[in-house]
Amino acid sequence: MKKILSILFTAYKSYIVYIHDIIWLNLILILRLIVIITLYKYLYANYSSDDLIKGYTLTQITYAVIIAQVVSSSKPRIIDEVSNDVKTGKVSVYLLNPINYIVFKFLEFFPVFIQNVWFGLIFGWLVWFLMIGSFPITLAWFFGWLLLLIWSMLVVFFSYTFIAILAFYTEDVEAFRFIYAKFDMIFWWNILPIPFLPWFLQTIAYLSPFAYFWYTSWLVFVSFDLILFLKYLSIQLFWLILTIFACIILFSKASKKLTINWW
């Protein structure tokens, strides 16, 4: 436990040293939210006669936009980090550590992910309240939303870690990252809300893990339903277990094939 806490503390200290990066990240997030929320306000003002589009209000849609943009912009650059470790041979040092490399990277990067999301939500909600107004929040909604959000962050982290481990097999993982990121953008509500997509794309989205990265936490938040909450929680658990085991299996095989300086 002492080693784990030490890694967490060191990672946190290393991150907050670059305070200008945190400020810049949130400034970009604020500008993106202002532009996107302004566009949705125009859309609802000019193309909605009953304050609903696809069954959702402006308040609900713009809240979802905040969650999407916050989680998307807060993801740690785990793919770049692992790829750099392999290319430079730095990974050989990490492999000698008493802690598994994947566990080490999780302890190093997930606290950064949490902090980025926390700051992003603060600034995102501030923009939202200034541009849209308040939203009725209940205790059940809040805790249901929080649990699904945290679990979705875990699924996001380990799915991107899986792509990162491919660096052990190929010199450059940029192609894999690019393809995965594009699916991410389409089915994660980074381009259009999932309800706005054609039906067949919605079906694909719900069969994939992307819809459960954050979209389900938004659905529970705007309209809490216990049955729906348990359903989404179980699906998230399935994808979380699958991505974790996929990372463990791929890494166990990849680490045996790693060659650094002919060793």
Closest CA to 32 of 58, 70, 63: 70
Global confidence as pTM: 0.79
Q: Which of 29-33, 57-61, 75-79 has the highest mean pLDDT?
A: 29-33
The 10s digit of each residue's pLDDT in 141-160 is 777 778 888 888 888 888 88
d(CA 217, CA 149): 6
- Inter-residue contact 113 to 161 (CB < 8 Å): no
Lowest pLDDT segment from 9-23, 170-184, 217-231, 246-260: 9-23
The 10s digit of each residue's pLDDT in 1-56 is 555 556 555 655 555 555 666 777 778 888 888 888 888 888 888 877 677 777 77
- Residue 141's identity, in one-letter code, is W
In Å, the largest CA–CA distance within the chain is 68
State the pLDDT at residue 262.
47
3-state secondary structure 90-138: CHHHHHCCCCCHHHHHHHHHHHHHHHHHHHHHHHHHHHHHHHCCCCCCC
The overall average pLDDT reported for the chain is 78
State the pLDDT at residue 4.
55
